[in-house]
Amino acid sequence: MGLMAVMVLARAATAGNVTTTRGDIALANLDLLIARPIPADAATDELWLMRARFLADYAALERGAAFADADATDVPALLRRARARAAIHRFSDALTDLDTARRLGAGDALLFRIRAPIRIAQGAADDVIPALEAAAVREPGFASASALATAYAGARRYPEADREFQAALDALDTTSPFPYAWLCFARGTMWAEQAGDPARGVPHLRRALDYLPGFVAARLHLAEIDARRGAAADAAEGLAGIAASGDPEVLALLGQLHAAADPARGAREIAAARTRFEELLARQPLAFADHAAEFYLGPGADPERAWVLANANYAERQTPRAREILERARRVRQR
């Protein structure tokens, strides 16, 4: 039986109103696709990046972004390199590649599809919203609705973003759990983190886990919400299944949760988080600057390190969150 047949037959229990491939089987299928004996290309890069996105697999991030420093002299190579650079938050470099590709004849529509999420990530959602709105009218569907939802969220237009997230979910027609899980996660973090409404965000985060139980970032965000409301036991339980991921944010939160009852264990976990952050920063500094800055403002307790990282992060993207981290770092450093 071929791989695609396996993917079609291996259905999960219904998550929400949609029956998708069971999460563990979908991840196994993803690994089979990655392992195909074919030359690496942009599609393979995206498979590695999917693994990194859902499993906090930073070795996969390295593989997916390996083309970021390759030579690129034609349009396909420049577009591949731009995507790789964007994945590790080298947004300015990615935009330079797109400008070069345009001079070599790349079409504006194709370039915009790559440029728009980069500009949103840089904090310039308002610049691309009019064109995304036009695209949603011209070509309604999952791609245009999800792009517009992300832009509205970046512009803090939360009700409009929520409407487009739902439109994107409604337009999906696939048994793969990955796009459903990602949309639910993005919708949940928008409400819980950006809009400051955890009660509205939590159901979407839980729905993301219905689709993909191994989704590390969704479990982490739910644990953070539990920790903030004082439910330390619930937070620790939520992290138990992903502690082995080696994600430094998971290690840091575990350390904070354990610090009161077992100070030695908490200190070990926070030290492990510090070591892991520094390993990741040494390889891809911009990809981890924001989260590492927050760590050093908190349990990592190194205001000078936080200040350097917050500045590097803000230089690359002027989002509300980047500004807030920079301001926190300035205040803590001046104490």
pLDDT band, residue 4 (cuts 50/70/90): very low
Assess whether pLDDT exceeds 50 at residue 1.
no
30, 47 Cβ separation under 8 angstroms = yes
Q: Residues 110-126: what's their mean pLDDT?
A: 97
Q: Which residues pair with 15 in a beta bridge?
A: 18
Task: Look at residue 17 in the predicted model and tell me its pLDDT.
Answer: 62
Dump pLDDT digits (tens) for 184-222: 999 999 999 999 999 999 999 999 999 999 999 999 999
Minimal CA–CA distance to 172: which of 204, 197, 140, 150?
Answer: 140
- 287-314 pLDDT, tens digit per residue, is 999 999 999 999 999 999 999 999 999 9
- Whole-structure pTM value: 0.92
Q: pLDDT above 70 covers what percent of the chain? A: 95
The residues near 175 (Cβ < 8 Å, ≥ 6 apart) are 7, 8, 11, 19, 20, 21
pLDDT of residue 37: 82
- pLDDT, one tens digit per residue, over 227-270 is 999 999 999 999 988 988 889 999 999 999 999 899 999 999 99
On whether the CB atoms of residues 174 and 182 are closer than 8 A, the answer is: no
Q: Evaluate if residue 12 carries a pLDDT over 60.
A: no
Domain edges within the chain: 39-119
Handedness of CA 294, 298, 302, 304 (dihedral sign): positive
**Rounded-to-integer distance, Cα 304 and Cα 256, Å:** 21
Strand 18-21 relative to strand 11-15, pairing: antiparallel
Please give the C-alpha separations between residue 247 and each of 89, 230, 237, in angstroms, as whole numbers: 18, 22, 16
